[in-house]
Chains A and B, each alone.
Chain A
Amino acid sequence: EPEVTQTPSHQVTQMGQEVILRCVPISNHLYFYWYRQILGQKVEFLVSFYNNEISEKSEIFDDQFSVERPDGSNFTLKIRSTKLEDSAMYFCASSPTDGHNSPLHFGNGTRLTVT
């Protein structure tokens, strides 16, 4: 069964550094998402992406964050200048529709640790 893959599985970075989290969604899916989960807390929505543009974003997704689908297969989340509070598990997800008629498929996550 096709799956969403995320790399790396664990990323350690210093405060102020830029990080790029990578995701390969399922190939025929059209909607892409990033979610994050701070340790011990619930999963939070960051951004959804459709037709090469952001379709919805949360209050968390400020100017420090950006997303890109550079080559038709990868979907990336960039954090420009990481802060300690960005430490979390970041999940990529994809779906063939906007989720109202089909479930989301999640990757296994990238654990980001900012020191």
Chain B
Amino acid sequence: KNEVEQSPQNLTAQEGEFITINCSYSVGISALHWLQQHPGGGIVSLFMLSSGKKKHGRLIATINIQEKHSSLHITASHPRDSAVYICAVQASGSRLTFGEGTQLTVNP
């Protein structure tokens, strides 16, 4: 069974700051997903990656398969980035195993 640990659980930043959220998992995976959950509950997929690095706008996701670790970075953070960021991993099957999420608050 794959355990997914995220850190920190809560993160408060000032607008403009560089933010890093970390995710570690215990068992080998085929894909890792970063998701964003807004206060209303809706979930949006940000990245799906299995190696290396991906960038979309101000968001960057990296993964180190050997170390079983991934990071999500937000550059030039903005209050609209405030949300819960969730790491989820996928092994050989179709199910995703989710982390607890990181509550990010960006203050103006």
Kindly state whether residue A18 has any CB partner on chain B within 8 Å: no
Compute how far the CA of A103 lies from the CA of B88 in the bound complex, rounded to whole angstroms.
11
How far is B100's CA from A56's CA once the two chains are assembled, in angstroms?
A: 22
* Distance in Å: Cβ of A76 to nearest Cβ of chain B: 19
**CB-defined contacts of A56 to chain B, threshold 8 Å:** 93-95
Among the listed stretches B11-19, B40-48, B62-70, B71-79, which one makes contact with chain A, having 4 or more residues with CB under 8 Å of it? B40-48
> For chain B, what secondary structure do more than half of its interface residues adopt (helix, strand, loop), or is it mixed?
strand
Name the one of B30, B35, B41, B88 contacting A100, with C-beta atoms under 8 angstroms: B30
Scan residues 86-108 of chain A and give those whose CB is less than 8 A from a CB of chain B: 89, 91, 93, 98-108
User: By DSSP majority rule, is chain A's interface helix, strand, loop, or mixed?
Assistant: strand
Q: Is A111 within 8 A of B41, CB to CB?
A: yes
| Residues of B in contact with A (beta carbons under 8 Å apart) | 30-31, 33, 35, 40-45, 47-48, 50, 86, 88, 90, 93-101
- Write 17 A-B pairs (CB below 8 A) sorted by A numbering: A31-B94, A35-B96, A42-B101, A43-B86, A43-B98, A48-B95, A50-B94, A58-B95, A99-B94, A99-B96, A102-B48, A104-B45, A106-B42, A106-B43, A107-B42, A108-B42, A109-B43
